[in-house]
Structure 1
Amino acid sequence: MPARRGLFVATILVGSFLLFLVQPMVARMALPRLGGAPNVWNSAMLVYQALLLAGYAYAHWLGRFALRRQVVIHVGLLLVAALTLPVGLIDLPRIAGLPEAAWVPLLLGASIGPVFFVVSAQAPLMQRWFAAAPGAGAPWALYAASNLGSFTGLIAYPLLAEPLLSVRWQSLAWSGGFAALVLLVALAGYSRRHAPTCTTVRTDALEDTPARTPGRTPARTVALWLALAAVPSGLMLSTTTHLTTDIFAMPLLWVIPLGIYLLSFVIAFSDRRAAAGAITRAAPIVLLLMGGYAMLSNGAGSLWAVAGTCALLLCVATALHARLYDLRPAESQLTRFYLVMSAGGALGGVFTALIAPLVFDWAWEHPLLVLAAALLMPLHPLLNWRDNADMEPGMARIALGVLLAFAGFLGWELLQTLLEPEEVLFTMMLTVFLVCIGVMVMAWRGAFAMVLLIAMIGQGGFWTIRATMEGQRTRSYFGIYTLRDDDDGRFRTLAHGTTLHGMQSLDPAQAHDALTYYGPGSGVALALAAVPAIEGPRARVGVVGLGTGSLACRSQPGQAWTFFEIDPQVLRFSTERKFTFLSDCTPRARVVIGDARLELAQVPPHSFDVLVIDAFSSDAIPMHLLTTEALAVYRRALTPRGLLILHISNRYIDLAPVVGANARAGGLQALSRLDLPEDEVRYTPSRWIALSADRGVLDGLARQRPDAPWKRLEERAPEPWTDDHASILPYVRWSRLTGNP
């Protein structure tokens, strides 16, 4: 019977491609309906992990049957799941008394649960069916094909599917892919119609590795499988957090670590072991060199820092997955092996995405996982003098102690040179010496990890630890906030990773001055100053995005203000008087916690005369707040003569064409104000867009300050953003990503 390897490779590729395509697609569908609150997406992640584990458990359970029955059952389930297509959120009304944490999983599970469940079983199941044919060969390389398909799906969504297709057509195209998958599975099953009828899989392909004999795997080995799967999974997520928080916040950056993680499986599970072996041997050196920066939190990032961090993830994930491959069991335990791997990946994800934000004030999970990798990865000592017959064990321990002491001294010197930027060459020399010591002590795994820890502290980790000890940081599911007073004691700033969220003067005489993006020449300052003349003295003002509360001190007597803020932690900065704008200037303001679009949809029509949308900065673009449907929500909340003000300052994405196209589609007039303040210490360049359905409102705004002119918004995207079709890709400022102006 022919092995038909190509057929099984194609089936696995298609299944994995569809699996990684459906997750961002459903997230895109759900965003306007569910909003961006973290409990929603934490629930979504748990649904995906639970369905993936259930799919792997199902594949493991199915192995108890004869192969022909497996084919009948699985094809039957695929056809049943096809009844739920095309993919989309079902019209499930909220159930009274059911908390959102339970309703969201119920909605997502009922919407995509059947197809996600059966497709997630593809990788282990197809490998088992492939191995059932005599002479087919080992199936493990098919897992590499599975991750290659996952990687392709991951890249295809932001680069192709989202920019080119509406959500509706994405769903229809996915349904077509699912139909192709059903056909491929049926053909794969048909190709095994003459396979042995026993329920166990043959093991003759592994006769050259007698250690992998059928039988119960020891619990210690299973625990090691779990750890080797959990650490790379958690490290992939922590690398994303570390990059976007402390190094280089840029759009679509999350794709890179996830792609590297998937490619590590492709390398580690390949039949050709040369690449995996070379990366595994190099991994300890890369870990010492780049892992030393895992505790860095100064926000001084570059593309080189991104490249080094990604190289670290590639080497660590490949080395750990290669060790996992070396510990693979006999093929009769194939589905059990993948089930444990899936559970390990889920544990890593739960620790990093759910537990760490509650336990840590910074991305401490990242250095912890890097250290865990040092304790798990294969080490091949280049200088194995520990077991040298010419050196007594006592002398070896003394030498080890001397080397560790010297490493500590080098770490201290490295920390001192970080305060002197001109000492770059000396810093590099100290780093090289530390790496050399790590190589010399590689025969002692604990000592190797100790040198790595010393390098972390010396490369800036000391300041990260001190910031934690001084309580400068606060963390929520939305990110890591750093509250810091400058060295001169003049200003207090709030930063979200590398993004400045606001600043307040510590001088009581200037404490109410709106700084950064909200200076006197900013579009929002000019607009709010003109509101009494345009909308009357008792205007109702809504602000989406609280931040430090800077805009509160732009309020005027008689006005009623309402703030919409998605993160309760941001509100606490004001209620605990870390920043006093809100309590001093608008003490009676109403603050609504939740996704602004969903909350504004619930307010009575014409509730506001002015609405300020200040929710876009750095790499974070909540697209559901910028679609034509969102604009309709804002217009409903505004009076017919209402004024809408959008803050679109962004380092990497040009949002002006999107706003221009949406304004034209919605019948709105638009003016733009670009502010380039001379005082760069107190104020930040900003761009604001003013929109109104009444041309007279904008004319009145433009007349208020002839010395600070507004310009007609001329930029236009080819098509407006809608809930059905939107992509940031065409509007990325690629030159900014490479450091060019």
Structure 2
Amino acid sequence: MDGLMTAAAPAAQRAGSAPRRALLATRALFTLTAFFGAALLFVVQPMVARLLLPSYGGSATVWSTSSLFFQVLLLTSYFYVHVSRTRLRPRVQPLVHAALVAVPLTVLPVVLPAGAAPGDGSPVLWLLRTLTLMVGLPFLVVGTAGPVLQAWFAETADVRSHDPYFLFAASNLGSFGGLLAYPFLIEPHVSLHTQRLAWSWGFVAFAALTVGCAVVATRGASRTPERRDEAAGPKGRVPARTLLRWTLLAFLPASLSLAITSHLSTDVGAIPLLWVVPLAVYLATFVTAFSRTTRQVPRRATYVAATVAVVGAAAAPIGGMPIWLMAGIDLVLLATVGYAAHARLAADRPPPEHLTTFYLVIAAGGALGGFLNGFVAPLVFDRVLEFPLTLVLVSLLFVGIGANRGTVRSLLILLGGLLLVLAAAAVVNRGEEWRGTSAYVALAVLAAAVGWGLTRAPILLALCLVAPFVATWWGTTDTIDRTRSFYGAYRVEQTADQHKLVHGNTVHGAQFRDERRRDTPTTYYASPGSVGDVFELFGDRLDRVGTIGLGAGTIAAYGRPGQRMTFFEIDPDIVHTARDPRLFTFLTDSKAAVDVVVGDGRLEVAKLPSGSLDLLVLDAFSSDSIPVHLLTREAFAMYADRLADGGILAVHISSRFFDLVPVLAAAAEDLGWTATIGLSQGSTPGATSSRWVVLSADRSVASQLAARPRWEPLDLTRRVQWTDDYSSVLSVLGQPG
């Protein structure tokens, strides 16, 4: 008898451990699927944007518009999940979804559709159309993973089925991993062709995992009604006030993330891959807020931290703060505000019954932030005002979300006072730039004292401190013209003797105001050591000149009678600025016949007949970012074909962050041409230091340039070749020599 009992004990243990292993396997399956689906979402976004860059001129707005598209598509995915979970029976919905997952297999792999380049009309609408054709259906399906997996997991017998939000943290961790993997692991080592195929096979794996989860969910849905009711939690509709709070809490960090990205890349520094950092911080706050160990962080502490960060970020531009410190303050602001909002969302998470509603509202808040920053702001504002306005908005919304009763009256009183403060700050701001720092501080302290006396609310105190500094973002009287388009925000500044065309903190051309020097080439185009030397040495044989990138049209100053100059410029607003005689007159004063072609430079030059140019100037930087598609092996081969025998290719490679010499060395080696590099120190009036590389099949070009000061043969020992299928800015990231 004792022997029978001894033998039976392990059997019972094995019987008890089998369900436990099954539950652990189920949890692992759902966690892996959530993680993998989110990683696919955040790998496909930069991959698709990378595929589209050649058709849209390398514009940074490609990324922000793509982000808006993906946010709206994610909202659509969540809407489908919500409707299907509320309208279909628990056993039917997983089967329907499993069938839906198979549909995108018919449109894979991801390919660039015909007619991707923008035609007539808004580039934004063309881009949204192209994105829909490229990846709309696969993204729509992968986007359902987060809420549908959590809803299914709530139907299982797992002890955590009543609170499946740990899968949300796993999903955001996958997003974080996919986001960082693309620029640092995938793009530097994998060609675009391989990326497209790998992502498509990844989707197949995701579909298989999802079907496995659907099978488990179907079995879980067969539990007794009593068990399902118990898991579902309390019944009833979510109050409208709660829905509004969820929307605002999701909107705040999403909008702030995009605003900070625009601010850093335009007004602080055009640092490579900078868009990755704010998005990574944004996702990290999601992961941290929804982890089990941090849900009890005091709400007041997060609000106080966010208040301090808002004030610091608003005052950062005053006093010439270093770029690295300004960027750090902005990222701390995003981390604190993002965590404060997401922690409140985590604390507010509803029972599984309302899970799909919860995620639908979160997606709506994120899409609203993307819509305002990616679509409305470029249409409404003539400069990048999203960041300062978001600072005020953060303060206002935190008032509505976290304040006590009775703050509405105080808020109305405060808003009236803020209007007066802003008006006073605007008057102060009409002086020279940043010279009114003490006046701003005085206004801020005065507003803070009044606000604190009226409300005693710390976040309203922060709003009072922020308001005067926000007025500084409206610019000073030395800005005489502004414009903003899909491709960037530009301004023309008037100094004592010049007009300057500026994008962010990068000058794209300048002209002397007095009549005697108006036709003098300036900035990067002044001699010696730049493209000006090319015109001085070989100008008599350069009858047909093409320039990719217009700027202020400075190169037209080298024009001579009988010469035809054609500028290729993708942004119509830049063309309007360069042609406005109140701002610049290089085009109208040129002795050459000048044409301007609107469109992407590479695509437009490709339309020219072979041998139709004697000189092609490549100068299409956008606020220090690289238009990679202009520097690939295929692009250089096309340029060489469009140049006549003995033609010259001059490439402007000035940059604060990239060393493009290896890319030009690879091009010279591939073409079998000579290459010479010139350095201008900016020693003449109006000149700016610059680096130019000149390539030609005519070896006399290199020898004549090398005989001049500040020119030397290009070092060909280190070569980095980019192709249309493979490129990585990390390969040339570094301080130029």
Please, what TM-score do these two structures have when normalized by structure 1?
0.85
Deviation by residue 1:82-134 (Cα, 9 ceiling, x = unmatched): 23333222457999999976665444323322211110110111111111124
1:476 matched to which residue of 2?
485
Contact (CA 8 Å) 2:421, 2:467: kept in 1 or not? Answer: no
Shift of 1:418: 10
Residues 44-63 of structure 1: CA distance to partner in whole angstroms, max 9, x if unpaired? 55543443222212222221
Looking at structure 1, the residues matched to 428 and 296 of structure 2 have their Cα atoms a distance apart, in angstroms, of 34
- State the match for 1:286 in structure 2: 308
Aligned to 1:257: 278
1:570: which partner in 2?
Answer: 574
Aligned to 1:171: 196
- Aligned pairs (5 A) from 1:587-598: 588-598=593-603
User: How far off its partner does 1:24 sit?
Assistant: 1.1
How do 1:672-683 and structure 2 match up within 5 A? 672-679=677-684, 682-683=686-687
Indicate the SS of the match to 1:164: coil
Q: CA deviation at 1:639?
A: 1.4
Equivalence for 1:30: 52
Mark the CA change 1:302 to 1:23 in structure 2 (over 3 Å): closer, same or farther.
same
Contact 1:434 1:455 in 2 (8 A): no
Residue 192 of structure 1 aligns to a residue whose secondary structure is helix
Q: Which residue of the partner structure matches residue 210 of structure 1?
A: none
Structure 1 residues 357 and 102: CA distance shift in structure 2, 3 A: closer
**Is 1:191 aligned to 2:216, yes or no?**
yes
Structure 1 130/222 Cα, relative in aligned 2: closer, same or farther at 3 Å?
Answer: same
Deviation of 1:73 (Å): 2.4
1:617 CA drift (Å): 5.6
User: Corresponding residue for 2:536?
Assistant: 529
**Cα gap change, 1:631 to 1:479, in 2 (>3 Å):** same
Residue 463 (structure 2) aligns with? 452
Please state if 1:467 is matched with 2:476: yes
1 CA distance for matches of 2:357 and 2:620? 46
Determine if contact 1:56/1:121 at 8 Å carries over to the other structure: yes
Distance 1:452 1:200, change over 3 A: farther
- Contact 2:116 2:127 (8 Å CA) reproduced: no
Q: Secondary structure at the match of 1:182?
A: helix
Tell me by how many angstroms 1:596 deviates: 0.7
Pick closer, same or farther for the CA change 1:73–1:415 going to 2, 3 Å. Answer: same
Matched, 1:81 2:104: yes
Q: Secondary structure at the match of 2:597?
A: strand
Deviation at 1:11, TM superposition (A): 0.9
Does residue 235 (structure 1) correspond to residue 256 (structure 2)? The answer is yes
Q: Is the 1:232–1:261 Cα contact (8 Å) retained in structure 2?
A: yes
The Cα of 1:691 is off from its aligned counterpart by 0.9
**Kept after mapping to 1: 8 A contact 2:318/2:434:** no
SS of residue matched to 2:187: helix
SS at match of 1:89: coil
Partner of 1:53: 75
Q: Residue 491 of structure 1: which of 486, 495, 498 is its match?
A: 498
Letter in 2 for 1:324: L
Which deviates the most, 632-641 or 283-292? Answer: 283-292
Aligned equivalents of 1:661, 1:644: Cα separation in 2: 14
Aligned-partner Cα distance in 1 for 2:485–2:147: 36
- Residues 117-153 of structure 1 show CA distances to partners (whole Å, capped at 9, x for unaligned) of 1101101111111111243231223222212211111
- Which structure 2 residues correspond to residues 315-714 of structure 1 after superposition, within 5 A? 315-377=336-398, 448-449=459-460, 451-457=462-468, 459=469, 461-467=470-476, 471-486=480-495, 489-533=496-540, 535=541, 539-577=543-581, 578-585=583-590, 588-616=593-621, 618-679=623-684, 682-702=686-706, 706-714=707-715
Inter-CA distance 639–41: structure 2 relative to 1 (3 Å threshold)? farther
Contact map agreement 1:627 1:723 (CA 8 A) in 2: yes
State the Cα deviation string for residues 457-508 of structure 1 (Å, max 9, x = none).
Answer: 2x4x44433538965432222222221122xx21221211111111111121
Q: Are 2:447 and 2:464, in contact at CA under 8 Å, matched by a contact in 1?
A: no
Query: How far off its partner does 1:440 sit?
Result: 5.4
Indicate the larger mover: 87-96 or 2-11.
87-96
Q: Distance in 2 between matches of 1:573 and 1:333?
A: 53
Residue 130 (1) aligns with residue 153 (2): yes
Q: Give SS of 1:377's match.
A: helix
Cα distance between partner residues in 1 of 2:485 and 2:118: 28
Counterparts of 1:91 and 1:347, CA distance in 2: 30
CA distance in 2: counterparts of 1:146 and 1:442, whole angstroms: 44
Q: Which residue of 1 aligns with 2:245?
A: 224
CA distance in 1, matches of 2:220, 2:386: 47
User: In 1, are the aligned partners of 2:503 and 2:622 still within 8 Å (CA)?
Assistant: no
Amino acid at match of 2:487: F
Question: Aligned-pair distance for 1:624?
Answer: 0.5
Give the Å deviation of 1:319.
1.5
Contact residue 617 and residue 648 of structure 1 kept, 8 A: no
Residues 321 and 586 from structure 1, CA distance in 2 versus in 1: closer, same or farther, beyond 3 angstroms?
farther
Specify the code of the residue in structure 1 equivalent to 2:81.
A
Q: How far apart are 1:267 and its partner, in Å?
A: 2.2
1:722 aligns with 2:733: no
Check whether the contact 2:564–2:592 (CA below 8 A) recurs between aligned residues.
Answer: no
Aligned to 2:168: 143
**Cα pair distance change 1:428/1:597, threshold 3 Å:** same
Counterparts in 2 of 1:436 and 1:641: CA distance versus 1, 3 Å: same
Separation in 2 of the partners of 1:58 and 1:297? 47
The residue type equivalent to 2:242 in the other structure is T
- Alpha-carbon contact 2:39-2:174 (below 8 Å) kept: yes
Percent identity between the two aligned chains = 37
Query: 5+ unaligned residues in a row in structure 1: which ranges?
Result: 208-212, 388-393
In the alignment, the residues of structure 2 paired with residue 310 and residue 70 of structure 1 have an alpha-carbon distance, to the nearest angstrom, of 41
Aligned equivalents of 1:34 and 1:415: distance in 2?
Answer: 37
Change in 2 beyond 3 A, CA 1:253/1:427: farther
Using the size of structure 2 for normalisation, the TM-score is: 0.85
Moved more, 368-377 or 161-170: 368-377
* CA–CA separation in structure 1 for the residues paired with 2:590 and 2:378: 32
> Could you tell me whether the CA contact under 8 Å between 1:434 and 1:451 is conserved in 2?
no
Contact in 2 for aligned 1:616/1:622 (Cα 8 Å): yes
Instruction: Give the superposition deviation at 1:434.
Output: 8.3
Q: Does 1:152 align with 2:177?
A: yes
Structure 2: distance between partners of 1:726 and 1:236: 27
Local SS of the residue matching 1:163: coil
For residues 272 and 651 of structure 2, the distance between their equivalents in structure 1, rounded to whole angstroms, comes to 20
Change (3 A) 1:94 1:696: closer
Q: What is the CA deviation profile of residues 330-377 of structure 1, one whole-angstrom value per residue up to 9, with x for unaligned ones?
A: 321211221222122112111111111111122222222222211223
- 2:291 aligned to 270, 290, 298, which one? 270
What's the CA shift for 1:712? 1.1
* 1:731–1:667 distance in 2 versus 1, CA, 3 Å: same
Instruction: Look up the SS of the partner of 2:292 in the other structure.
Output: coil
Secondary structure (helix, strand or coil) at the match of 1:484 reads strand
Specify the alignment match of 1:72 in structure 2: 95
Moved more, 341-350 or 428-437: 428-437
- Taking the aligned partners of 1:34 and 1:408, their CA distance within structure 2 comes to 38
Q: For 1:571 and 1:92, how far apart are their aligned partners in 2?
A: 24
Gaps of 5+ in 2: 1-18
Q: Check 1:639–1:300 CA distance in 2 against 1; reply closer, same or farther (3 A cut).
A: farther
Deviation at 1:34, TM superposition (A): 5.3
> What amino acid is the match of 1:245?
T
